[in-house]
Amino acid sequence: MSDTHDVVKVTNTNSGILKITLNRPAALNALNIELMTQLQEILAAAKSNYAIKALLITGDGKAFCAGADINQLNTLNGQTGLDFARHGQRIFRQLEQLGKPSVAAINGFALGGGCELAMAATIRIASSTAVFGQPEIKLGVIPGFGGTQRLARLIGKGRALDLCLTGRTIKAEEALHWGLVSEVVASQEELITKAESILEQLVKLPSLAMKSMMTVIDYGYDLSLEDALELEAAHFGLCCATRDKQEGVKAFLEKRNAEFVGE
């Protein structure tokens, strides 16, 4: 089943994977208010829809997303710029904290806000033609949708400073070497197939344990080790109280495939 919005295309698969395609190819899928608002609405609906178990995010045409719409950026002043940044940050944090795994399938340009969107996904894979960067410095601004923070957390402070201060771009293989993406494939077709394959495996796993895993890694990263370990222990206890834990252990002992129910 599919649904086409003006600037975002949405497709549901029978296995519970929601495919979200940024649909402004003539503008290299640049982020304007309309696209961001539609993305926000789609993510909110996905969070509350039990049938949706995972998300695939990609871009139509030759770009994943080339960043914020420059025409819109041109209108911003101090106050509206602050509001715009906070709006984008909320949406990308919404994706990051959805409680359901997401894969960003990155084709072509992932620059500025496009790179920031990709970094908010759970997993990132790229085609060999993908290009990454935070070129905001060349426009007299800094990344505003979480780029300075997520980039440093993913690839280290030194490399984040390199990309953000110079505004230079890196190709897919270098992004793989730096840990910005976890896999590079040869073509656009293979990219979507690979992303779907990853998600097909994830949706078979226990959803409550997966949500706990993502929560603990996300929140625990910025805690002291002692507090992060306590958070991990608490979620381990929560998982031990689920039917899926009982099923998983029983299936292992009986040497059969587990049938998880999300409870």
Residues that are catalytic: 116, 136
Geometric angle at alpha carbon 118, from 117 and 119, rounded to 5°: 90
Which class for 180: exposed (0-12), middle (13-18), buried (19 or more C-beta within 10 A)?
Answer: buried
How far, in Å, CA of 69 to CA of 66, rounded?
Answer: 8
For strand 131-133 and strand 109-111, is the pairing parallel, antiparallel, or unpaired? Answer: parallel
**Residues 6 or more apart from 109 whose CB is under 8 A from it?**
28, 62, 63, 64, 65, 66, 130, 131
Residue of 23, 150, 156 whose CA lies nearest to 88:
150
Geometric angle at alpha carbon 65, from 160 and 120, rounded to 5°: 55
Geometric angle at alpha carbon 154, from 131 and 85, rounded to 5°: 75
- Cα-based distances in Å from 193 to 11, 46, 171: 15, 22, 21
| 260's tokens | 């998880």
Contact between residue 103 and residue 153 where contact means Cβ atoms under 8 Å apart: no
How far, in Å, CA of 218 to CA of 224, rounded?
Answer: 13
Residues forming a β-bridge with 104: 57, 124
